[in-house]
Chains A and B, each alone.
Chain A
Amino acid sequence: MKLAYWMYAGPAHIGTLRVASSFKNVHAIMHAPLGDDYFNVMRSMLERERDFTPVTASIVDRHVLARGSQEKVVDNITRKDKEERPDLIVLTPTCTSSILQEDLQNFVDRASITSNSDVILADVNHYRVNELQAADRTLEQVVRYYLEKARRQGTLDQSITKEPSANIIGIFTLGFHNQHDCRELKRLLQDLNIKVNKVIPEGGSVKDLQDLPKAWFNLVPYREIGLMTAIYLEKNFGMPYISITPMGIVDTAECIRQIEKHVNNLVSNKKFNYEPYIDQQTRFVSQAAWFSRSIDCQNLTGKKAVVFGDATHAASITRILAREMGIRVSCTGTYCKHDAEWFKEQVQGFCDEILITDDHTEVGDMIARIEPSAIFGTQMERHIGKRLDIPCGVISSPVHIQNFPLGYRPFLGHEGTNQIADLVYNSFTLGMEDHLLEIFGGHDTKEVITKSLSTDTDLTWNHESQLELNKIPGFVRGKIKRNTEKFARQNNITNITVEIMYAAKEALSA
């Protein structure tokens, strides 16, 4: 047992549901007790999704506990098949079904006989993998299922497209700025005259998965999700993949060079040269290179920062801060414990120390000890920063509704470098401003003028009513006080009691 208040990565089934609901026309059925469908709330609220989240539960209740699910799961699958006619139904185990150890595969086999949809059982173990690992695994499972199916049916076409083309693998629902990143990547590929073959899973259709091998290469922007699929495609179809995250100027350029290499491997006559494009973009489209040279950025030199997040974002941001902005990264860390080796290798030489943990108190203690000028982390670090009065830029999930901005905010590609520069700069200046305010004692040196006109009134508040008044949240307390006193005066009452307060509330509907 572990005493836990908070966690960075969610349980495994969340990862599976993210894959399923990212695809078009795929339905997930969770084998779970009542109340475990909280994923639907998150998707509907955080992503402000307009459509009903295609996730339902096959409820595990007392009866199931006593007698087993029996026909229930099969019935739910076939019912969903009739109602929604999805292409694929993913039966999703949860922590509950992990312990019940019912033969879910058997249910799937039976249901797939009667239903028109394909039915698969997500192959994840709640106690072994977290949300990210489960998503990675499920995506690979779905892709493998459809490619093998196509191969069996003889519909698999292994020829590649005439013009250079790419698959983007790993764009997800509830992913940190994934929608914006996807748009930016498409633009980048378009600039390089590379066609986007397929984007999976977000918005993709499982029917099109058999076309994946048509692309010249796969682009896997995020370390956490998509790599297993890319490795599977490389092994079985010889498709190369690029796993360099195009975040920051240097890495974006590196990613483009990799693309150049793979594309040139496949063309015979003419060779592509992307160097002029990289140069043009770096110096004039992205403002980040110029920014790092400007006086503003000079002021940031040697300032201490702490970075924490998922492996992809924490590693990239660490390198951007250290390499492109001259900021001293005192500590960098990730909660992706399963990927610690890769992470250490990536940030080697760009930071003073490395912290691999999924315990947020450890991160908090580290920040308190280092006292950096700015933090770049998740929502949790933002709150730690609030408590310690250190500004924080959010660079990674866990997510919050404000991390789903309506405006265009990619982290990847050249526009991404601009966004990151803004984020970094704003975090630090805010910190500086705060500091100056403290030194010079705030903007106003005069005493604060209160809204009430006279401090001494003819009214007295008895002890209970004062206590009651203090229970009212600060921001409305003044209004309640004024309204109550107004009411008391109108009714010629001089002694204010709790009853008078309630009466005033009723009368004035305050």
Chain B
Amino acid sequence: MSNKISETLTFECETGNYHTFCPISCVAWLYQKIEDSFFLVVGTKTCGYFLQNALGVMIFAEPRYAMAELEEGDISAQLNDYEELKRLCLQIKKDRNPSVIIWIGTCTTEIIKMDLEGMAPKLENELGIPIVVARANGLDYAFTQGEDTVLAAMAHRCPEQILLIEKKKVIQDSNIQNFFSFLSLEKKEETTDKNFEKLKKNPPLVLFGSLPSTVACQLSSELKRQSVQVSGWLPAQRYTDLPSLGDQVYVCGVNPFLSRTATTLMRRRKCKLIGAPFPIGPDGTRAWIEKICSVFGIKTEGLEKREEQIWENLKDYLDLVRGKSVFFMGDNLLEISLARFLIRCGMIVYEIGIPYLDKRYQAAELLFLQNTCKSMSIPMPRIVEKPDNYNQIQRMRELKPDLAITGMAHANPLEARGINTKWSVEFTFAQIHGFTNARDVLELVTRPLRRNNNLENLGWSNLTKKEKKI
């Protein structure tokens, strides 16, 4: 498949000198999502400084995360890592009594080769609290990939799908001759147990990716409309409610940056991965649902009409963005899906910068992007992995895009040079998934355009003193 894509989509790789958030920032949304967790970031003052500044006011709300700040004694191994971590975790247990403590390994623990994975099971036994280790460090990962490392680590903690196997056995006994495929199995199940008729049409489906509970609920109910039952989410609202996994379980990602989690689910937990475009934008949501339904052999109902309806509702925003050009500098891995949606909205995408592109995990999304470009008769954007911000700014000066989607480090300087910008970080914190939230994505994208429409005639769009060569 990747061959077919590269015929038309061009992939480049630059120097990797780009601005993004450190992956430990994932604690910010994950500690809120997993209500009974405690995140302990084992790192230095640098990590702490980033967290406290990036998360702003959250820090004052008695968060369920903290730094285990390494001091010189820890670095030079004068202190015993195990004893030190035990001391801190005991205190956390005493103060907060969480259901799980998640250790976030950082660059420093990598460099000094602190054996977090080795210490965790020992301490877990001693403490009686599960300890999950995720290495979300800046040596290996960018921004949202932090969540990927945490979910991949958590996938190991999900209970084994025992119930299903037992149930299957019962069915097996009575209907051995029909045990060939899921479809036939389900038909039998329906006839044997009328109570399961509505609930048990599809084999267990676990969705992975951390979403606000409202959005998760919206996506689940979208699938329910097509009679697809979601049996669980990774992560769930509480650590104690992690979904069961096993070789009969189908899994599907809701975010483009979860390739490690997908790999872990497939290889280690033997789940079946449904590779679909991501439910961002009405086009993406429909394609996502259709793919899941097709895997389960379900014919979708009224999806087309529903998508149309959503587009209809977006009309005022679409008029604003049609024909405008976008430049993604790239820092959070949502870029491909967002670009695909914006192209469908009638925008022209010059460049999709992206920190890391897993062509296998994102295959369906890439194909969808390609098809969208074709159907909208818009040239394929160049996809730049590990971009170089300096080069990108030079290109932006040439291309003069109507909108740059960029990190906060570049937003104000670009605005001062007359380029509209939208902070990319907002897309990670806003609700952008599903039909219902399509409007919110465009709300974000059009905000700078709407604001600057108001200011256009005031004659002060360029606010730098001299155009120094940037």
Contact = CB atoms under 8 A, between A and B. Distances in A.
Interface of A: 1-7, 10-11, 13-14, 32-38, 40-42, 44-45, 48-53, 56-57, 59-62, 65, 76, 83-84, 94-96, 98-100, 126-128, 130, 380, 383, 386, 468, 471-472, 498-499, 502, 505-507, 509
Contacts of A33: 22, 107, 137-139
A83 B390 contact: yes
> What 3 pairs across the A-B complex have the smallest Cβ distances?
A35-B22, A33-B138, A40-B409
B463 A502 contact: no
Interface centre among B50, B74, B112, B137 (most CB of A within 10 A): B50
Contacts of A505: 436
A51 B54 contact: no
B48 A471 contact: no
Contacts of B23: 35
B67 to A, nearest CB: 5
Nearest to B463: A50
The number of chain B residues touching the other chain, given as a range, is 35 or more
Nearest to A39: B409
Interface in B190-233: 213-214, 217-218, 221
A5 B59 contact: yes
B69 to A, nearest CB: 4
B44 interface: yes
A89 to B, nearest CB: 15
B288 interface: no
Contacts of B16: 34, 59, 61
A65 B139 contact: yes
B108 A96 contact: yes
Contacts of A65: 110-111, 139
Given A35-B21, A50-B416, A3 B139 contact: no
Interface string B420-447: 0000000000000001100100000000
A175 to B, nearest CB: 16
A506 B42 CA distance: 43
A383 B412 CA distance: 28
A37 B108 CA distance: 16
A23 to B, nearest CB: 15
A36 B217 contact: no
A49 B50 contact: no
Contact of B17 (A41, A57, A509): A57
Interface in B71-109: 71-72, 74-75, 79, 84-85, 87-88, 91-92, 107-108
25 contacts: A1-B68, A1-B79, A2-B67, A2-B71, A4-B48, A5-B66, A7-B45, A14-B49, A33-B137, A34-B138, A36-B22, A38-B21, A40-B409, A48-B412, A50-B412, A51-B468, A52-B410, A52-B470, A61-B16, A65-B111, A96-B46, A99-B108, A99-B112, A130-B45, A509-B313
Contact of A507 (B17, B91, B313, B411): B313
Contacts of B416: 50-51
Nearest to A1: B84
Nearest to A497: B221
Interface of B: 16-17, 19-23, 42, 44-46, 48-50, 52-54, 59-60, 63, 66-72, 74-75, 79, 84-85, 87-88, 91-92, 107-108, 110-112, 137-143, 213-214, 217-218, 221, 309-310, 313, 390, 393, 407-413, 416, 435-436, 439, 463-464, 468-470
A71 B258 CA distance: 33
Contact of A40 (B19, B49, B468): B19
Contacts of A507: 313
Contacts of A56: 17, 390
A302 to B, nearest CB: 31
Nearest to B141: A34
B66 A502 contact: no
Given A3-B68, A50-B416, A127 B75 contact: yes
A5 B139 contact: no
Given A5-B66, A42-B53, A468-B217, A35 B45 contact: no
Contacts of A471: 213-214
Interface centre among A3, A14, A48 (most CB of B within 10 A): A3
A499 B20 contact: no
Contacts of B221: 498-499, 502
A233 to B, nearest CB: 30
Contact of A127 (B71, B138, B310): B71
Given A35-B20, A44-B410, A57-B17, A7 B140 contact: no
Given A502-B218, A505-B436, A506-B310, A34 B142 contact: yes
Contacts of B309: 506
B45 A10 contact: yes
Contacts of A95: 44-46, 107-108
Given A51-B416, A95-B107, 10 more contacts: A1-B85, A2-B71, A4-B66, A4-B68, A7-B45, A7-B48, A52-B393, A62-B140, A506-B436, A506-B439
A3 B88 contact: yes
A6 B17 contact: no
Contact of B52 (A6, A62, A499, A506): A6
Nearest to A464: B217
A50 to B, nearest CB: 4
A186 B142 CA distance: 45
A497 to B, nearest CB: 9
A383 B59 CA distance: 10
A504 B42 CA distance: 45
A19 to B, nearest CB: 17
A466 to B, nearest CB: 14
A37 B50 CA distance: 9
B70 to A, nearest CB: 6
Contacts of A5: 59, 63, 66-67
A33 B43 CA distance: 13
A10 B49 contact: yes
Contacts of A7: 45, 48-49, 52
B140 to A, nearest CB: 6
A98 B367 CA distance: 45
Contacts of A98: 75
Contacts of B470: 52
Contacts of B20: 34-35
Contact of A1 (B17, B60, B71): B71
Contact of A49 (B92, B407, B413): B413
Interface centre among B213, B309, B412, B464 (most CB of A within 10 A): B412
Contacts of B21: 35, 38
Nearest to A83: B390
Nearest to A72: B15
A393 to B, nearest CB: 17
Nearest to A99: B111
Contacts of A2: 67-69, 71
Nearest to A50: B416
A51 B435 contact: no
Nearest to B225: A499
Contact of B46 (A13, A59, A100): A13
A45 B412 contact: yes
B54 A38 contact: yes
Contacts of B88: 1, 3
B45 A502 contact: no
A141 B370 CA distance: 55
Contact of B407 (A41, A57, A130, A383): A41
Given A4-B67, A33-B137, A11 B91 contact: no
Contacts of B91: 3
A57 B46 CA distance: 14
Given A4-B66, A34-B22, A11 B49 contact: yes
Contacts of A38: 21-22, 49-50, 53-54
B139 A100 contact: no
A509 B439 contact: yes
A406 B357 CA distance: 42
Contacts of B218: 502
A44 B108 contact: no
Nearest to B439: A509
A11 B108 CA distance: 14
